[in-house]
Chain A
């Protein structure tokens, strides 16, 4: 059986990729996708812990489903915002959309 640490390391790698993508990508859609990566890395952790820890009553799995649900909603709202941004600025590059400053 594959030990828990492998899952955790994989989750950490995926999360780090997500953080890196969110911090470095200029495209708003890519950032959303990176956030999705981070969420899924978390989901992976939930599932792994639910499998390996004793006396759990499906809490990990339920939480993962919750996260997926919220992620779907978030993606919908996020893509709608991106569409709105595009209509206003004709671009989806976040470094060009910097009105909200001093």
Chain B
């Protein structure tokens, strides 16, 4: 049964091939295959998941991919608790979003193309999480990056969409370069890219790994830092997060699937998968934790003031990914992956809900033009409410258990400042989620008159996935996460994350409960203490007054701290300057040399021609002229009168005879 694992990524590929080639004839039936193959994948994944629950694992090299010299890479699958959880999250959320897309993308001219890309994404993502070596993971990693690019720029006629796709691709490329360098270093150090060979080796070559090398950092620190650079690109962490908000140009199901639930969590998965390496590099762990913590607060603060419904959720995603990295950084890998899973549910739900709202309003994304949608969109508003609560971390919804665990681990790991940072982030999260919820679904009705007539609840294809994810959001946390650190989930994944991560949890039950209480109180304060009073009715003057008082700060945050402008000034403009410089060198230097050479050749040729005309030809012509001149002179004797010749002959004879006589 476990060997059926190969079907999980291959099935969506079937959809890719058929929809990709015959899409133009399949057109609006493309979802049959797109959703069907994903559904089959989900079924198989479920079967495999339940088998792994019984403790079964698999590490299976299907075939040898690359064998060059002493370098071997295989296409192989690894099924353990970690990949099983990831696989299940990906297929489950992926399937629901595929179903949702049937409704959302209905009638789009690129319908078949959409499902082709989505299936390709499913394949790549599943390869990424199921691979048993880094190279195959990298293949999936690049595959999801490609699909991300294709799907962000899905409406490629829109300039901003195609720009956003390019931006995502280029920024990801920076991270991927780091990942790739990390892989090189791993191969150089361990002589293998297989998880099963690398991780057990770490304790054995501890001394080699921890000896200071370049810049005083040890080898394993370098490896993990490079891998983490890859993770920051893919998972939108500081400083490479800038592509994710722009990625919202893509269709909303894409945002839900790729830019919330699955692809962006690939970095977290990669760090968790490499936990043996990271745990051997305390410095890298510090970096991961700090980057995660700072990103969590940074992105949350931007989300406070954004007015585009999808962008708020996008910044929320960045922020939540920050929490996951914070968890990884303090050694709570299991909690980080748990948060990944719960986040996949409620963030996908938020995006699908946002999509539903946008769909209902005919494409409107500005929350200032929404409001009072609660009655008109009952399913959407209800599920959105649950997801917002989950994102805010209110007990007993999904987000509470996982986020609380991460913060507790940070506290227990003596990262009190990071804990405080995370808690501040949690407060902001609660606030911005409910600012969004109240503004969109309650508050004042600011809907456009034109849009107002055909506001309608979404079709069943969209509503059912919302409900399914909503139920997941309600239950998944308490089902798997209770009691904290010893729940079903933790017992399941424990074998994957060796003892390192666990020792930090040696804090008492009282402390745990106390931290949970603090977290809940903070979140509750954010929701009911602030957001509710400011936005519930929609006519409170408080938000505007606050914006007025902190005018400079507000403008700064509204403009996303001007990071994009900074990057444009520093990197893009620098790049352009460099291009112009090389162009100048090319134009003036290289072309100049070439042109100079040609000009020199022309001059030399002219000299040579002169010599040829005057010298060589001149000599020839001179000879000819002399001969001609001579001929002109002497032709006079050719009179044609025979007697002249005769006379000449006679005189000649006379002369010769005379000479004979006289000498």
Chain A interface (Cβ within 8 Å of chain B)? 19, 22-24, 31, 94-95, 97-102
Contacts and interface: CB of A to CB of B under 8 A. Distances in A.
Contacts of A22: 643, 646
Given A19-B650, A23-B650, A94 B642 contact: yes
B508 interface: no
Report whether over half of chain B's contact residues are helix, strand or loop; otherwise say mixed: helix
Contact of A23 (B638, B640, B643): B643
Interface of B: 635-636, 638-643, 646-647, 650
A12 to B, nearest CB: 12
B636 A98 contact: no
Given A95-B641, A98-B641, A101-B641, 14 more contacts: A22-B646, A23-B646, A24-B643, A31-B642, A94-B642, A94-B643, A95-B643, A97-B640, A97-B642, A98-B640, A101-B638, A101-B640, A102-B635, A102-B638
A101 B650 contact: no
A99 B639 CA distance: 9
Given A94-B641, A94-B642, A102 B636 contact: yes
Contacts of A31: 642-643
A99 B650 contact: no
Contacts of B635: 102
Contact of A100 (B640, B643, B647): B640
Nearest to A28: B642
B508 to A, nearest CB: 135
A23 B647 contact: yes
A3 B648 CA distance: 34
Contacts of B639: 98, 101
A94 B638 CA distance: 15
Nearest to B634: A102
A-B pairs, top 10 by smallest CB distance, nearest first, are A101-B640, A98-B640, A102-B635, A100-B640, A101-B638, A102-B638, A98-B641, A94-B642, A23-B647, A95-B641
Contacts of B638: 100-102
A34 to B, nearest CB: 10
A19 B650 CA distance: 8
30 contacts: A19-B650, A22-B643, A22-B646, A23-B643, A23-B646, A23-B647, A23-B650, A24-B643, A31-B642, A31-B643, A94-B641, A94-B642, A94-B643, A95-B641, A95-B643, A97-B640, A97-B642, A98-B639, A98-B640, A98-B641, A99-B640, A100-B638, A100-B640, A101-B638, A101-B639, A101-B640, A101-B641, A102-B635, A102-B636, A102-B638
B661 to A, nearest CB: 15
B633 to A, nearest CB: 11
A23 to B, nearest CB: 5
A22 to B, nearest CB: 6
Contacts of B647: 23
A97 B641 CA distance: 7
A64 B640 CA distance: 33
Nearest to A95: B641
A77 to B, nearest CB: 15
Contacts of A97: 640, 642
Contacts of B650: 19, 23
Nearest to B653: A19
Nearest to A100: B640
A99 B638 CA distance: 10
Contacts of A101: 638-641
Contacts of A19: 650
A48 B506 CA distance: 163
A97 B646 CA distance: 15
* Most chain A Cβ neighbours within 10 Å, of B636, B641, B650: B641
A59 to B, nearest CB: 23
A1 to B, nearest CB: 29
A97 B635 CA distance: 18
A69 B647 CA distance: 26
B548 to A, nearest CB: 116
A62 to B, nearest CB: 25
Nearest to B650: A19
A89 to B, nearest CB: 13
* Most chain B Cβ neighbours within 10 Å, of A24, A31, A95, A97: A95
Nearest to A26: B643
